């Protein structure tokens, strides 16, 4: 069997996880990357296809130019338009990130296009394939519970993610995205009725209010994808004096294997910052030395974050970043002392002394 000629539409955060997995499959050849920010697509091409794929800014042109077997549509839901229609017209099977649409008109049109074309489609509801859900299916079958059931769901999120992700008008809402789908999947039903409540709305509001707004320069760097692009430059060995970045394996708790990173020079040095300045100038990004210095902590943190995420995917990258976070390590360091203070009743005294 010849490898499936595969392309990606959208080269953002979740697309990295898909691209990394696809690049490791012998049954797949990545031949195209498309993004409205062409530098992103070019970076994906270098990272996951060795520079051998084609880069596009317009998905219409990509479908016309490439003979594809499969396409991964990794766009935010508010950006979904005619990608599914074009895939169906060209006989290209596809995976699309959820939710597929923000209104029923577009969703039903997509479903009808798939039915008429006969292409294979998959929506990225990965929780359906989780071990717990598989167990539930087996339990329902074994106990003949398919015609009855009552489901209670709770959804906890450890991140506020991008601004559009928290905007229901753009994302569709996270409760809908996962819990409603699992309800339909578990009950094997076309219709699910639900009552939805947030048990701590005050806490949710405070968390959002505490999230620091980006200043002008930080917002500029983020909007231009500078951290993602520069992390690719850094990990590919193009930065003089940046040290050597490499992957290795480590044994986690219980003997399970987890990816980790050997980064002896992960510290963002003055040489790296100097190179970053040249990198910004080459892209016509206006800045002053004060812009760099006043935002240096933010810049270093975002570069590290992109290195981990680009190398390991969102979940594993986050875990590794947390393990190496200086504030987390400091907290773990003082935890035994804090426990001792609480046990000995000294905590109140210490707090009172600090407030004087």
Inter-residue contact 71 to 49 (CB < 8 Å): no
Number of folded domains in the chain?
Answer: 4
Would you write out the chain's pLDDT as a tens digit for each of its 356 residues? 899 999 999 998 889 999 999 999 999 999 999 999 899 999 999 999 999 999 999 999 999 999 999 999 999 999 999 999 999 999 999 999 988 999 889 999 999 999 999 999 999 988 888 888 888 888 877 877 766 666 666 666 655 567 777 777 888 776 667 777 777 776 655 555 555 555 444 444 444 444 446 788 988 888 777 888 888 788 777 787 665 554 443 333 333 333 344 444 467 888 899 999 999 999 999 999 999 999 998 899 888 888 777 666 666 666 666 666 665 566 656 666 655 554 555 444 444 444 44
What is the domain extent for residue 173? 128-210
Which of 124, 151, 178 terminates a domain? The answer is 124
Which of 142, 177, 210 terminates a domain? The answer is 210
Residue 215 CA to residue 217 CA, distance in Å, equals 6
- Predicted confidence (pLDDT) per residue in 140-187, tens digit: 778 777 666 666 666 666 555 677 777 778 887 766 677 777 777 766
Residues 239 and 154 in one domain: no
Q: What are phi and psi of 7, to 5 degrees?
A: -130, 165
- CA distances 197 to 152, 184, 185, 202, 209, Å, are 11, 19, 21, 12, 20
Residues 120 and 206 in one domain: no
Residues 89 and 148 in one domain: no
Residues 240 and 184 in one domain: no
Residues 333-351 as b or e (16 or more Cβ within 10 Å = b): eeeeeeeebeeeeeeeeee
Residues 344 and 354 in one domain: yes
| Token pair 């489901």 in the structure block, residue | 151
- DSSP-derived secondary structure letter, 15: H
Max CA separation in the chain (angstroms) = 75
């Amino acid at each position: 069997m010849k490898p499936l000629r595969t392309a990606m539409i959208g080269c953002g955060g979740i697309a990295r996880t898909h691209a990394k997995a696809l690049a490791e499959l012998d049954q797949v050849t990545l031949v195209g990357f498309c993004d409205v920010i062409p530098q992103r697509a070019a970076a994906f091409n270098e990272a996951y296809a060795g520079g051998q794929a084609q880069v596009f800014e317009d998905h219409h042109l990509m479908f016309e130019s490439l003979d594809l077997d499969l396409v991964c549509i990794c766009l935010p839901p508010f950006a979904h338009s005619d990608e599914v229609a074009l895939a169906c017209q060209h006989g290209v099977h596809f995976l699309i990130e959820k939710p597929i649409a923000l209104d029923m008109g577009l969703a039903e049109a997509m479903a009808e296009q798939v039915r008429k074309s006969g292409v294979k489609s998959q929506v990225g509801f990965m929780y359906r394939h989780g071990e717990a859900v598989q167990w539930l299916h087996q339990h329902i079958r074994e106990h003949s519970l398919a015609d009855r059931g009552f489901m209670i769901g709770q959804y906890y999120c450890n991140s506020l993610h991008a601004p559009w992700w928290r905007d229901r008008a753009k994302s569709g809402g996270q409760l809908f995205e996962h819990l409603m789908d699992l309800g339909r999947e578990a009950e094997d039903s076309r219709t699910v009725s639900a009552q939805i409540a947030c048990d701590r709305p005050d806490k949710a509001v405070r968390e959002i209010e505490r999230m620091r707004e980006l200043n002008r320069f930080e917002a500029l760097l983020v909007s231009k994808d500078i951290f993602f692009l520069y992390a690719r430059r850094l990990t590919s060995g193009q930065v003089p004096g940046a040290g050597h970045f490499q992957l290795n394996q480590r044994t986690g708790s219980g003997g399970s294997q987890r990816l980790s990173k050997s980064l002896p020079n992960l510290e963002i040095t003055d040489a790296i910052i100097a190179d970053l300045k040249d990198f910004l100038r080459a892209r016509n990004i206006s800045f002053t030395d004060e812009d760099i210095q006043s935002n240096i902590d933010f810049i270093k943190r975002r570069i590290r974050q992109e290195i981990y995420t680009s190398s390991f995917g969102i979940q594993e990258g986050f875990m590794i970043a947390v393990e190496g976070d200086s504030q987390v390590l400091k907290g773990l360091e003082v935890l035994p002392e804090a426990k001792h203070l609480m046990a000995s009743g000294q905590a109140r005294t210490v707090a009172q002394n600090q407030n004087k």
